[in-house]
Amino acid sequence: MTQENVSPKRGRRRGGEDTRELILSAARELFAESSFEGVSLRQIARHAGVDSALVHHYFESKEALFTACVELPADPLAVLATVAHSSPEQRAESLIRAVLGLWDSSARPALLALVNSAISSPLRASLVRQVMNRLLMPQVTAGLDGSPAELRLRGNLVISQLLGVIVARHVVKIEPLASASITELVHWTAPTIQRYLTGEITQEPNSDDRNGQYSPSQPESLRP
């Protein structure tokens, strides 16, 4: 039989050096297109062209696979473990110390790579957004009073403030933030973050918003 007459083997991949990366690539794509909840391990295996048993061989759970997809240098739940158990009225300081402490550790290069990839890649941005919504937001808002929409807003405001400090300190390296101690950063930023957590956040319907969403109320002096 000549080589031209030999048919290629068909079927699912049985394993190999690149199997783990194939699974990760398929999972990143499906998680970004849908969501963590909307994708099953069986779907990921089928998309990667591997047997579903191989997914379990390389990753002990869907959570572990998702974490690997985002390439987090640390477990967010472990980093924020003390935050969720702190008093809501005093949470800002513990939150800032936990997050900025991680950025000042050996995990900084991996975190910088994660931020840069989220900025440049819509797929990575979708994965990071899901990490924030699934893992970070519940820890930040644990024990706070308010409707789901209000808690989501408070969590978003807190994360936006922290991201601003992180980018200014580690990416753009604006002084004096770049060389400030964490204690100084806590002193400067904790009041704002604490207000986002437990202070008054007034909203009113925006009549021009066709999506039915809310926008922050405008001070009377600035209203037309």
pLDDT in tens, 180-205: 999 999 999 999 999 999 999 875 55
pLDDT of residue 203: 59
**Is 109 inside any structural domain?**
yes
Q: How many domains does the chain have?
A: 2
pLDDT of residue 177: 95
Rounded CA separation 202/187 (Å): 25
Rounded CA separation 14/122 (Å): 31
* Pair (42, 114) in one structural domain: no
CA nearest to 197, candidates 96, 82, 74, 77: 96
* Pair (53, 93) in one structural domain: no
Q: Which are the contacts of 103, defined by CB distance < 8 A and separation ≥ 6?
A: 111, 166, 169, 170
Least confident of 82-86, 152-156, 169-173, 213-217: 213-217
pLDDT of residue 37: 86
**Is 2 inside any structural domain?**
no
Is the Cβ–Cβ distance between 95 and 141 less than 8 Å?
no
* Pair (193, 145) in one structural domain: yes
Q: What average pLDDT does the segment 36-48 reach?
A: 92
CA nearest to 94, candidates 104, 83, 81, 105: 83
**Is 193 inside any structural domain?**
yes
User: What CATH number is attached to the domain comprising 147?
Assistant: 1.10.357.10
* Pair (39, 111) in one structural domain: no
- 76-119 pLDDT, tens digit each: 888 888 888 889 998 999 999 999 999 999 888 888 888 888 88
**Is 160 inside any structural domain?**
yes
**Is 217 inside any structural domain?**
no
CA nearest to 42, candidates 33, 32, 55, 25: 55
pLDDT of residue 70: 84
Look at residue 8 and tell me whether its pLDDT is greater than 50. Answer: no
Amino acid letter, residue 184: E
pLDDT of residue 144: 93
Whole domain around residue 133: which residue ranges?
Answer: 76-203
174 conformational bin, left if phi > 0, alpha if psi -120 to 50, beta if neither: beta
* Pair (145, 51) in one structural domain: no
Rounded CA separation 199/216 (Å): 14
**Is 6 inside any structural domain?**
no
